[in-house]
Structure formats: C-alpha cells, structure tokens
Amino acid sequence: MRPGTKVRLWSPKFTNRPDVEPPALLKLVGAISVFSAAASLVYAVFATLNFAGPVGAEAAYVAVLHFVLPVCIFYTINVNSPLSRFAIGLYVITLSAATVLGKGFLGSLPISQTSRVAAAVAGVALVLLWLSVSPKMRFYYAVITGRPVPEELKARTDELRGGFTLSPRASTVLEWLVDRMETAVLLGFIAVVFYAWWSTG
C-alpha cells in the first residue's frame, strides 16, 4: 500500500527563468488571484441555485473580472511571464472603469461620482506606477525578459535579487494557503449544495 499523494492546485510544466522568483508583493497578488477565481466559482454555483445571479453583460463582467483575469494573472506570475504586467494592468483598468460606471461592489458604494472617479484613477495610477517604476519590478521584468538591467539598478543587483524571496514564515503560510485552496473550493461547493437542499426542503 503506497501512501496517498496530494495533487497540488497548480504545477506549471514550464517556467521561464526558473532561477528567478517573483518579488514578494507580486507573489501576494498571485495568491489573491487564486482566491478570487475560486470564490467566483463558488459564487456562480450559489447564484445559479438561487436563480439570483447576474445575467447578460453583468454576468460576463463578473466572469471576466473575477475569474478569467485572475486566472491569467496567477498563471503568468507562476511561469515568470512578462505578460503578468499586462494582465495586472488590464485587471485594474477594467475594475476602475467598472467602478466609474457604477458597476460591482466598489461602484455601488455610497460616495459621490467625483470621489469615485478620483479613487478609481488614483488606484490605476498607483498600480501602473508600481509595475513600471518600482526598482524591484523593473529589475525582475528586465531579468525574465533577458533585457539589460537598467544602469541605475546594476549597483543594487544583490539587494534587488535578494528581495525576491518572502520571509520563511510568510512563504510557509502562503504555500499552505495555496496548497489548500482546492480543498476550500470543494468545501465551498459542498456548503452551497447543503444550503440549496435546506432552502428548498
């Protein structure tokens, strides 16, 4: 009898520059993306069983913003693809546009339209600046794309490369959460089924 082997949620077959790890904050974005995609699946089943889910354009918006784009972000980060920068940028632009138009949770907050627009524009600006101006991000994307490291960052190579890893404790917690995400999704589906049975019984 062989001991059971746990099937990990994600085991990429190909990783660009496997010797390079994403910066800690980028890893955190990837973990949040996994949670968003998993939560959207549970929500979709729950809404379908209750016949109360979004329809038409709203359903497409929810699917793209909370499932498709987070999956793309998670995938590109895990394989060290430079497309992760584009995927994250597309996500925040889409979210901000929806917020300005009054869509989703952020768009329904009881604040003035001026404040909503200002917050949305500021959010996009901060994320895009982080992606393109942060020394760690510039160094990381230069390395994984094979481009020369910017001259002003060469003297900080050891510092920036050393900053790629999380602390041992944080790394352990993050890996524990990702490894158990599929279990959380399964439990979520079970909870939804029991809720549907209880509400219709």
Could you read off the pLDDT of 24-80 as tens digits, one per residue?
889 889 888 888 887 887 777 777 666 666 666 777 888 889 889 999 999 999 899
Query: pLDDT: is 32 or 14 the higher one?
Result: 32
The pLDDT value recorded for residue 169 is 73
Q: Can you say whether the dihedral through the CA atoms of 81, 86, 89, 93 is positive or negative?
A: negative
- The model carries a pTM of 0.79
The pLDDT value recorded for residue 128 is 96
Q: Averaged over 167-192, what is the pLDDT? A: 66
Q: Averaged over 177-195, what is the pLDDT? A: 64
pLDDT over 60 at 9, yes or no: no
